[in-house]
Amino acid sequence: MASKLRFKVVDDAFKKRPVRVKVPDERPSEYFGKYVFDKKKMYKYLPARVYEKMCDVIDNGAPFDLTIADAVAEGMKKWAMELGVTHYTHWFQPLTEGTAEKHDGFVEHDGKGGMVEEFEGKLLVQQEPDASSFPNGGIRSTFEARGYSAWDPTSPVFVIGDTLMIPTVFIAFTGEALDYKVPLKKSLYAVDKAATAVCQYFYPEVKKVTCNLGWEQEYFLVDESLFSARPDLVMTGRTLMGHDSAKNQQMDDHYFGSIPERVENFMRDIEIQALELGIPCKTRHNEVAPNQFELAPIYEETNLAIDHNMLMMSIMKRVAIKHGFRCLLHEKPFKGVNGSGKHNNWSLSTDTGVLLHAPGKTPLDNIRFVTFIVETLKAVYDHNGLLKAAISSATNAHRLGANEAPPAIISSFLGRTVSELLEHVEKADEGDELTIAGKTELKLDIPSIPQLLIDNTDRNRTSPFAFTGNRFEFRAVGSLANCASAMLALNAAVAESLMNFKERVDGMISKGVGKEVAILRVLKEDIKYIKPIHFEGNGYSDEWKAEAARRGLDCETSCPLIYDAYLKDSTVKMFEKTNVMTRPELEARNEIKWETYTKKIQIEARVFGDLCMNHIIPVVTKYQSMLIDNVHKLKEIFPAEKAMKISANNLTIIEKISEHESFIVENVAKLISTRREVNKIESEREKAIAYHDQVAPFLESIRYHVDKLEQIVDDEVWPLPKYRELLFII
Ligand code: ADP
Ligand code: MG
């Protein structure tokens, strides 16, 4: 009987003891980057001339000189072999959720009947993985082209186990990107160019602007035995049924609570491995929901930070198993408790400091600060629908709009100090122009911004895009997502906004307006313009939904329709102007997004139907028969009237079970026939819409009845681990 399995796994889970972690003898600062071919190792393993060229590539974005490829590969091989490495792989980020790799050995025939370890430059630089099974949205079939992966020398190679991992981009032979990294890198280039140009109004010496990303990864841990007894968790990453536990997060006793020992050991283990791989892990704590946790490294350059996040997610999943857990990265594994996000802390900086940092030193510094705040907000406003599309997925949809997370509307919170500053600039009088030594300047009475701002920014936890002192925190990103999707859209949009800003300022300057005055005029215009995206109130309230609609913000909640934002004229124009993506690439990507959406719901629907019919209904029917049996037997031993009286309770349950059962059976049949019907739709977009509108609602309506049954059926026979077990045993 199924319940036996449940009790066994619960028992197993209870008995688990913390797994000891071997802690290195060295300090974290000493073993940091041990398995990374970083500059220190390059210096040691590469000829001086080659080392210098590599530094130029990494630090200054110089193109990689192919003539040094062999020397670089040789140095890498030597370093890797000293660590016992025998294989290498190109490691890339196809348009799925994870990363892809195919390992090849260093060994080659030596021509004398033996073998030799070899690793040539051309193998480092480019490969042709069999790309046919990666999503491409029709790009390759249309163009009859194969895909290839090419080394990204700005993200260092690293070693995992016996394999040398080489971060690469993944492109079709016709040039279209088939991954996240290519458009991401293009967006970083675009924002660098546009921000540097604007920066030079203030600091002419600035040569480069870097985009920083500090991600905060939320996740759940579930005991592995319990996990394995939940086919829905195994197959879809979330529980498709399950009644609320009597206690969940209402006591607020988990957030920042002491970390259970089993979990602490897991955290220690992943941190050591991450630090060895050069991921600067810093923060760990319990999150709001039971068995929910967070990990955050120190921010890094965005491309590297994203590689590190992808790597971290795979380390977490792998190491969790060693500790008898499963790591759930799904945005909403459990109904009724908080979901998981991945806050993306975003900022731009020059080699002298962060551009969103309020220094309050000189008026010009303050105008620079206002410029970057306002133009960022303008980008978010102009492309709020796109930014939502960039974080939308079938899984994140469960989290957005629910009560604890950013709603399905993008707005931005600035806090009181910055809001007042913008008001002040908006009202600043142009009559305040001053002529000093023949030069027209502004008497900029911009109030200085207190340093305290950085730590004391009022925290509005309900804003999906909040200014937090020296950065914006894009909170709507899903825990499972590749941050690149959000980051490339944001950076491209900010690049466009800054390009546009510069065009307008230069236009005025060419007509004889002084630089500061021109900047101020454009800013005043933009401060008025961005008002609809600026929202300081409670983003979770119903009033905000109505207000946002009045302000003309994108309020669409259906994921397949949200994706339409990628193909809006303003989006295509923006991506083309910034040279990040072309229309065919955007179209291909949307095909993949719709297809992925459909597949996710399709799998959920299948697993759900199976759970209902093969796990729940049989057990419930058996239980009901037992009750019926009992009613009959009571009739045998008591007079009819008394028997009926005694059986009243059981009769009610018998009836309720029948009601729930018939709803479930009928609707699972309908779910299946609806699925069959909509599967015939050819257009990926229409099919995804049908899955959203017609298939997904069944999961919710049927679940209601399953969860009711869970409450009335004998605990002993319930076949699936319950929420109270999944969420509280560790
Ligand atoms: P929170 O209080 O928001 O939970 P955390 O300490 O968990 O903060 O994470 C904050 C993240 O923001 C870290 O990754 C941190 O390095 C990063 N961060 C701090 N300053 C910046 C900045 N200027 N730009 C980008 N990220 C930053
Ligand atoms: Mg945090």
At residue 335, does pLDDT exceed 60? yes
Lowest mean pLDDT among 281-285, 455-459, 610-614: 455-459
Q: Give the ligand with the smallest distance to the CA of 218.
A: 2
CA gap 195, 499 in Å, rounded: 8
Query: What string of DSSP letters covers 619-651?
Result: HHHHHHHHHHHHHHHHHHHS-HHHHHHHTHHHH
CA gap 330, 93 in Å, rounded: 18
| Mean pLDDT for all residues in the chain | 90
**Token digits for 39?**
């500059």
pLDDT of residue 378: 98
Residue 83 in contact with ligand 1 by CB distance below 6 A: no
Long-range contacts of 75-78 (CB under 8 A, 24+ apart): 75/42, 75/45, 75/46, 75/47, 75/50, 76/37, 76/45, 76/119, 76/124, 76/157, 76/164, 77/106, 77/117, 77/118, 77/119, 77/164, 78/45
292-297 and 210-223 strand pairing: antiparallel
Instruction: Work out the pLDDT band at 523, boundaries 50, 70, 90.
Output: very high
* Nearby residues of 716 by Cβ (< 8 Å), 6 or more positions away: 3
CA proximity to 275, closest of 241, 327, 244, 315: 315
Ligand 1 centroid–CA 607 distance in Å is 38
- Name the burial class of residue 128, with classes exposed (0-12), middle (13-18) and buried (19+) by CB atoms within 10 angstroms of its CB: exposed
pLDDT of residue 439: 41
| Helical spans, DSSP H, in 16-89 | 28-31, 39-45, 48-60, 69-82
pLDDT tens digits for range 588-624: 999 999 999 999 999 999 999 999 999 999 999 999 9
CB 719 within 8 A of CB 615: yes
Nearest CA to ligand 1 atom 24: 347
Instruction: Work out the pLDDT band at 99, boundaries 50, 70, 90.
Output: very high
CA gap 44, 48 in Å, rounded: 9
CB 344 within 8 A of CB 213: yes
User: Ligand 1 pocket: which of 213, 218, 345, 458 to mutate (most atoms <8 Å of CB)?
Assistant: 345
CB 352 within 8 A of CB 458: no
Q: Across the strands, what pairs with 92?
A: 100
Long-range contacts of 160-163 (CB under 8 A, 24+ apart): 160/35, 160/277, 162/84, 162/85, 162/86, 162/87, 163/85, 163/86, 163/87, 163/88, 163/89, 163/101, 163/103
Residue 354 in contact with ligand 1 by CB distance below 6 A: yes
CA gap 93, 311 in Å, rounded: 11
At residue 444, does pLDDT exceed 70? no
CA gap 238, 241 in Å, rounded: 9
Residue 471 in contact with ligand 1 by CB distance below 6 A: yes
Q: In angstroms, how far is CA 506 from the centroid of its own chain?
A: 37
Distances (CA, A) of 22 to 43, 335, 658: 30, 36, 55
Helix (H, G, I), strand (E, B) or coil at 172: strand
Q: At which residue do the structure tokens 């206002």 appear?
A: 370
Residue 308 in contact with ligand 1 by CB distance below 6 A: no
CB 526 within 8 A of CB 502: no
CA gap 36, 55 in Å, rounded: 15
User: Ligand 1 pocket: which of 299, 357, 475 to mutate (most atoms <8 Å of CB)?
Assistant: 299
Ligand 1 centroid–CA 400 distance in Å is 22
- Name the burial class of residue 707, with classes exposed (0-12), middle (13-18) and buried (19+) by CB atoms within 10 angstroms of its CB: middle
Interval 229-245 mean pLDDT: 96
Residue 470 in contact with ligand 1 by CB distance below 6 A: yes
* Nearby residues of 107 by Cβ (< 8 Å), 6 or more positions away: 86, 115, 116, 117, 118
What is the 8-class DSSP label of residue 613?
I
Residue 353 in contact with ligand 1 by CB distance below 6 A: no
CB 147 within 8 A of CB 129: yes
**Token digits for 634?**
């009571």
Q: Which residues crowd ion ligand 2, with CB under 5 Å? A: 216
Q: Give the ligand with the smallest distance to the CA of 459.
A: 1
pLDDT of residue 98: 87
pLDDT tens digits for range 646-667: 999 999 999 999 999 999 999 9
Residue 296 in contact with ligand 1 by CB distance below 6 A: yes
pLDDT tens digits for range 627-643: 999 999 999 999 989 99
Nearest CA to ligand 1 atom 17: 214
**pTM for this entry:** 0.94
CB 506 within 8 A of CB 521: no
CA gap 291, 716 in Å, rounded: 24
CB 684 within 8 A of CB 595: yes
Q: At which residue do the structure tokens 């590469």 appear?
A: 46
Ligand 1 centroid–CA 483 distance in Å is 15
pLDDT tens digits for range 140-177: 555 455 788 999 999 999 999 999 999 999 988 888 88
